[in-house]
Amino acid sequence: NAGVTQTPKFQVLKTGQSMTLQCAQDMNHEYMSWYRQDPGMGLRLIHYSVGAGITDQGEVPNGYNVSRSTTEDFPLRLLSAAPSQTSVYFCASSPGYRGESSTDTQYFGPGTRLTVL
Amino acid sequence: GDSVTQMEGPVTLSEEAFLTINCTYTATGYPSLFWYVQYPGEGLQLLLKATKADDKGSNKGFEATYRKETTSFHLEKGSVQVSDSAVYFCALSRGANSKLTFGKGITLSVRP
């Protein structure tokens, strides 16, 4: 298993540009989520999904869009990048209620470091 | 709403010193509690967890006990190593398909 993978690892954008951060997991996990990590603020939830075709907003959803067309993939789209979106972005997944037992342990990808100029 | 409070950092210790990182939470009911660790340049890894009161999570010499009466989940290690240098996050969850609520994290540096 590759676990949770994210691409790209680093990205620099200009204000107003759009881009998609990719996230994929090969563990057949039901639950997937996106967090951003900012100094002194821990991790904050942007969007999450409890299964293919189902997404919902987290604490800081403004300026971001998500979709979940397959169990494996959960891309995060920045619609019009702003300097306030400079951050490290983490994708995470967990089994949820799938399978024989549920678990709330989340598994994180390596992160994407995004800078918006 | 739910919240997690960690002690202020950073923390610098000498190798083989005793480590305590305080974590308290505010939440109704019985959330699951976690410690995640982030090594330099990497993503977060689960260090340990506890799912009910008085449970003790342990891994790699680290321990934390779920204390419902004090709403705490303090992380301890008897003898730290240089390789333990990382950022440590306390977090809670309300179960499967629920978000993690994180503390702000604390940076630990261990000197040889």
pLDDT in tens, A74-88: 999 999 999 999 999
pLDDT the model gives residue A41: 84
Residue A100 pLDDT exceeds 60: no
Give the confidence band of B96 by pLDDT, cuts at 50, 70, 90.
confident
Q: Are B96 and A93 in contact (CB under 8 A)?
A: no
Phi-psi group of A27: left, alpha or beta (phi > 0 → left; psi -120 to 50 → alpha; rest → beta) = alpha
Mean pLDDT throughout A49-68?
A: 95
Residue A39 pLDDT exceeds 90: no
d(CA A94, CA A29): 5
| B104 interaction partners in chain A (CB closer than 8 Å) | 40-42
- Partner-chain contact B97 A108, CB within 8 Å: no
- Partner-chain contact A30 B98, CB within 8 Å: no
Residue A98 pLDDT exceeds 80: no
Give the confidence band of B1 by pLDDT, cuts at 50, 70, 90.
confident
Mean pLDDT throughout B92-107?
A: 88
Tokens 């300026």 belong to which residue? A63
- Partner-chain contact A111 B49, CB within 8 Å: no
Q: With 0-12 CB in 10 A as exposed, 13-18 as middle and 19+ as buried, what is B17?
A: middle
Confirm or reject contact between B52 and chain A (CB < 8 A).
Answer: no
CA distance to partner chain A, nearest, from residue B79 (Å): 26
pLDDT the model gives residue A103: 72
Question: What mean pLDDT value characterizes chain A?
Answer: 92
pLDDT the model gives residue A99: 53
Of B42, B89, B99, the CB nearest to A42: B89
| Token pair in block for residue B46 | 């689960």
Mean pLDDT throughout B87-112?
A: 91
Taking only the tens place, the pLDDT of each residue in B5-40 is 998 889 999 999 999 999 999 998 889 999 999 998
Q: B8-12, long-range: CB within 8 Å, 24+ apart, which pairs?
A: B8/B106, B9/B105, B9/B106, B9/B107, B9/B108, B10/B106, B10/B107, B10/B108, B10/B109, B11/B106, B11/B107, B11/B108, B11/B109, B12/B108, B12/B109, B12/B110, B12/B111
- Partner-chain contact A96 B32, CB within 8 Å: no
Residue A83 vs residue B96, higher pLDDT? A83
Residue A40 pLDDT exceeds 90: no
Q: Is the bond leading into A83 cis (omega within 30 degrees of zero)?
A: no
Residue in chain B closest to A111 (alpha carbons) equals: B43
